[in-house]
Amino acid sequence: MTKFESSIKHVSAPQAAVYAKLSDLNNLEKIKDRIPEDKVKGLTFDADSLSFEAAPVGRITLQIVEREPEKCIKFGTTASPLPFNLWIQILPVTETECKMKLTIGMDLNPFMKAMVQKPLQEGLEKMADMLAVIPYE
């Protein structure tokens, strides 16, 4: 299993508020206008899953497979050209701040890893940046 990790992001919101918002995907409604249309098209979602078209890989559907209250949300792909898992880890810093890190795990042969490593790392970092600045109050 190959793992890609975002850098650790500082979030100016309590851990519980961040977890509450990210563990219910219906909350994407409030931020979907911030998602770059050139990278993600046709976003659809409900409380437990989201689906989108990502260039150049195609349609991807993610389902929440595990929720560890206030600490971690784990996603698995139900439809994807390259199956993968995504973890969002949330750790408290103070009563009003927390840290967040995103991790993607996937089985890749060395050739595929060389092809997807840079765009995947950049995409993961952009996603972490976006999740760090959305309003959680």
CATH of the domain at 35: 3.30.530.20
Q: What was the pLDDT predicted at 123?
A: 86
Report pLDDT for 36: 67
Q: By residue range, what is the domain housing residue 54?
A: 2-133
Q: How many domains are contained in the chain?
A: 1
Q: CA-CA distance, 87 to 47, in Å (whole number)? A: 17
User: Whole-number mean pLDDT of the chain?
Assistant: 91
Name the pTM for this structure: 0.90
Highest mean pLDDT among 70-74, 106-110, 114-118: 70-74
Name the residue type at position 74.
K
**Any idea what DSSP says for residue 68?**
E
Structure confidence by residue, pLDDT tens digits, 7-63 = 999 999 999 999 999 999 998 887 777 776 666 788 889 999 999 887 767 889 999
Q: What is the pLDDT of residue 41?
A: 82
